[in-house]
């Protein structure tokens, strides 16, 4: 007989009962047949529950009742208001996303710069204004983290947390200055980070291959991490110098920063072969560093075309200046003869790079036809060289172009599985949904974790730990990430035999299958695979570990 372990009395009268499913705890390697009762935004009971006539009963027979999954790395802070994007997340069981990644987002600081620079990644934010109404606000800050978080309260079916993007902070204080920060500038940046954390940010992010993070050295980042460590928050980093064979370089810098500050670290999209990755992680642990990482279950990446194919100095230029420079015939000849031969020598691409880069986002009527085509195909269709094609695209679209990037050395699923099984692994889609041919990871990553890697990397109970319980604890999301009495009812109901990713590189916007019913804060936001119209998501403020 199943015994009701605990019942918490709530003032609300409406109760939802999830009947007859297999409950997965989210924090322990444990599953059991049980009902779940929900009143308001909280789980009130797990066990055998007698439904009353006024209860709403959801039949979960043959399905798993899991804590809502947490995407620890997403670029959805502007797109999450779109119903199709919310549906895509919920159909994967994702109820919370963590944004503010790679050091660039909408807050704090000057949103026009951040929005323009990451236009092909984050897109615009449809509900953000540029005033705080706070006479005591830092004068370098147009938008605060609290303002950004407030835009998600009751406006989306999915929860949204954010990090303090270090690139925003540096740009607000130093603009595009490539030099080292002065003591005064460092103090101002530290105050901005501290304010962001007080506003509810989940940690600090850096993007050390993007600007202006590219110009910040380990000493500067360490100073910014001091308030992060003091708050018990997390330092999240897109490491410097790329990944794959060069991962050790970035790891060494992460280690120096953690050594200097005692901050807990988290490595974004840890692209590396399993043997090398596990070795580097073991070395960090042996040195006493507390580090976790996220990955997505694909080998291709997605980034700004300009970052991948233009010299680094272009990143420091204003868009207008960069475009004018690319129009110069002399500059085009220089890039053709001096720069693009280096692109062909990149370890991740090689001489076949024009056939390995597919346009994802080209937001101009005359160029939208290029979305989904490789650079090689585009050049052939317009009868131009590949280099001229690239430069013309960037000029006409004012650098607002993203691309899906294949790699020469693709890691098989068995290799990915060896990293996903690591205790420090957490799921992250790196999801970008802009354009006519985005990377399928935004629409399929978490369904793919469940359909392909349960049984290879973890059990179902382990999947809930890696993809929900542990991320909630790591990022200070309080009473989320577990199916337990008293915890917030973010819950995904999963068909273990039917869940699968449907999105492909050729058809990337296909929602996943096998997850048809999802609750966020006790409200049914997805029913029979469709949105219900409930907007119970909220901006997630860091609250520390659950009780």
pLDDT at 9: 43
pLDDT at 519: 98
The pLDDT-based confidence of 243 (bands split at 50, 70, 90) is: confident
Look at residue 6 and tell me whether its pLDDT is greater than 80: no
Q: What is the CATH number of domain 69-299+411-472+487-499+511-527?
A: 3.20.20.140
What value does the mean pLDDT take over residues 167-173? 95
Model-wide pTM > 0.85: yes
What value does the mean pLDDT take over residues 487-491? 98
Q: Among candidates 470, 422, 71, which has minimal Cα distance to 281?
A: 422
Give the tokens for residue 111.
């949103």
Q: Among candidates 509, 546, 513, 516, which has minimal Cα distance to 531?
A: 516
What value does the mean pLDDT take over residues 488-516? 98
- Which DSSP string corresponds to 17-57? EEEEEEEE-SSSS-EEEEEEEEETTEEEEEE-----TTSEE
pLDDT at 462: 98
Look at residue 7 and tell me whether its pLDDT is greater than 80: no
What value does the mean pLDDT take over residues 510-528? 98
What value does the mean pLDDT take over residues 406-431? 93
pLDDT at 99: 98
pLDDT at 13: 63
What value does the mean pLDDT take over residues 7-28? 81
For the stretch 465-484, pLDDT in tens is: 999 999 999 999 999 999 99
What value does the mean pLDDT take over residues 19-33? 95
Rg (CA), the chain: 23
What value does the mean pLDDT take over residues 15-37? 96
The pLDDT-based confidence of 141 (bands split at 50, 70, 90) is: very low
Helix orientation angle between 247-261 and 274-286, rounded to the nearest 10 degrees: 20
Backbone angles phi, psi at 27, to 5 degrees: -120, -15
What value does the mean pLDDT take over residues 299-308? 92
First to last CA, the chain: 28
The pLDDT-based confidence of 137 (bands split at 50, 70, 90) is: very low
pLDDT at 129: 63
pLDDT at 347: 60
Cis peptide bond upstream of 204, omega within 30: no
Q: What percentage of residues in the chain have a pLDDT greater than 70?
A: 94
Between residues 211 and 547, the one the model is more confident about: 211
What value does the mean pLDDT take over residues 339-365? 89
Q: Among candidates 149, 267, 152, which has minimal Cα distance to 197?
A: 149
Residues of each domain in the chain carrying CATH 3.20.20.140: 69-299+411-472+487-499+511-527
In whole angstroms, what is the distance from residue 75 CA to residue 98 CA? 8
The pLDDT-based confidence of 2 (bands split at 50, 70, 90) is: very low
In whole angstroms, what is the distance from residue 88 CA to residue 77 CA? 15
Look at residue 26 and tell me whether its pLDDT is greater than 90: yes
Between residues 364 and 294, the one the model is more confident about: 294
Look at residue 223 and tell me whether its pLDDT is greater than 90: yes
312 by Cβ neighbours in 10 Å (0-12 / 13-18 / 19+) ranks as exposed
pLDDT at 265: 98
By three-state DSSP, how is residue 292 classified? Answer: strand
For the stretch 313-346, pLDDT in tens is: 888 788 899 999 999 999 999 999 999 999 888 7
pLDDT at 155: 98
For the stretch 385-394, pLDDT in tens is: 999 999 999 9
Q: Among candidates 217, 156, 168, which has minimal Cα distance to 192?
A: 168
For the stretch 75-102, pLDDT in tens is: 999 999 999 999 999 999 999 999 999 9
pLDDT at 56: 96
Beta strand segments in 400-495, E: 402-405, 425-427, 491-494
């Amino acid at each position: 007989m199943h015994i009701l372990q605990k019942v918490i009395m709530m003032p609300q009268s409406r109760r939802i009962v999830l009947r007859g499913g297999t409950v997965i705890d989210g924090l322990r390697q444990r599953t059991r047949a049980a009902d779940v009762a929900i009143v308001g935004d909280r789980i009130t009971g797990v066990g055998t529950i007698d439904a009353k006539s006024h209860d709403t009963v959801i039949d979960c027979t043959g399905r798993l009742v899991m804590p809502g999954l947490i995407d620890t790395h997403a670029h959805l802070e502007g797109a999450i208001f779109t119903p199709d994007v919310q549906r895509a997340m919920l159909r994967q069981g994702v109820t919370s996303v963590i944004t503010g990644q790679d050091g660039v987002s909408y807050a704090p600081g000057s949103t026009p710069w951040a929005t323009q620079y990451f236009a092909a990644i984050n897109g615009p934010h449809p509900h953000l204004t540029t005033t705080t109404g706070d006479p005591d606000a830092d004068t370098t800050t147009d938008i605060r983290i609290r303002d950004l978080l407030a835009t998600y309260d009751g406006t989306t079916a999915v929860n949204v947390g954010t990090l303090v993007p270090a690139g925003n902070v540096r740009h607000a204080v130093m603009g595009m200055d490539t030099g080292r920060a002065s003591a005064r500038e460092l103090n101002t940046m530290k105050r901005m980070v501290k304010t962001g954390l007080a506003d509810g940010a989940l940690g600090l992010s850096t993007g050390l291959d993007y600007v202006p993070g590219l110009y910040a050295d380990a000493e500067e980042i360490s100073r910014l991490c001091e308030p992060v460590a003091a708050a018990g928050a997390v330092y999240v980093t897109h490491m410097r110098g790329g990944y794959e064979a060069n991962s050790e370089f970035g790891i060494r810098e992460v280690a120096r920063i953690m050594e200097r500050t005692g901050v807990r670290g988290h490595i974004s999209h840890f692209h590396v072969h399993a043997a090398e990755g596990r070795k580097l992680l073991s070395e960090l642990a042996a040195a006493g560093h507390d580090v976790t990482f996220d990955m997505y279950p694909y080998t291709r990446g997605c980034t700004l075309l300009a970052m991948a194919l233009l010299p680094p100095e272009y990143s420091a230029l204003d868009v207008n200046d960069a475009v004018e420079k690319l129009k110069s015939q002399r500059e085009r000849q220089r890039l053709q003869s001096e720069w693009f031969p280096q692109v062909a020598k990149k370890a991740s691409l090689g001489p076949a790079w024009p056939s390995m880069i597919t346009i994802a986002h080209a937001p101009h009527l005359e160029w939208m036809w290029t979305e989904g085509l490789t650079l090689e195909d585009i050049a052939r269709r317009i009868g131009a060289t590949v280099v001229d094609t690239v430069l013309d695209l960037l000029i006409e679209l004012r650098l607002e172009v993203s691309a899906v990037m294949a790699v020469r050395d693709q890691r098989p699923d068995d290799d990915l599985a060896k990293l996903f099984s690591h205790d420090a692994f957490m799921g992250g889609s790196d999801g970008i949904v802009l354009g006519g041919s985005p990377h399928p990871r935004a629409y399929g990553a978490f369904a793919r974790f469940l359909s392909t890697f349960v049984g290879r990397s973890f059990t179902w109970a382990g999947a809930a730990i890696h993809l929900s319980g542990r991320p909630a604890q790591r990022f200070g999301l309080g009473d989320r990430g577990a199916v337990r009495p008293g915890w917030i009812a973010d819950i995904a109901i999963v068909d273990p035999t039917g869940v699968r990713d449907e999105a492909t590189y050729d058809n990337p916007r296909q929602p996943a299958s096998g997850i048809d019913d999802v609750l966020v804060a006790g409200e049914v936001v997805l029913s029979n695979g469709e949105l219900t119209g409930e907007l119970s998501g909220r901006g997630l403020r860091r609250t520390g570990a659950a009780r």
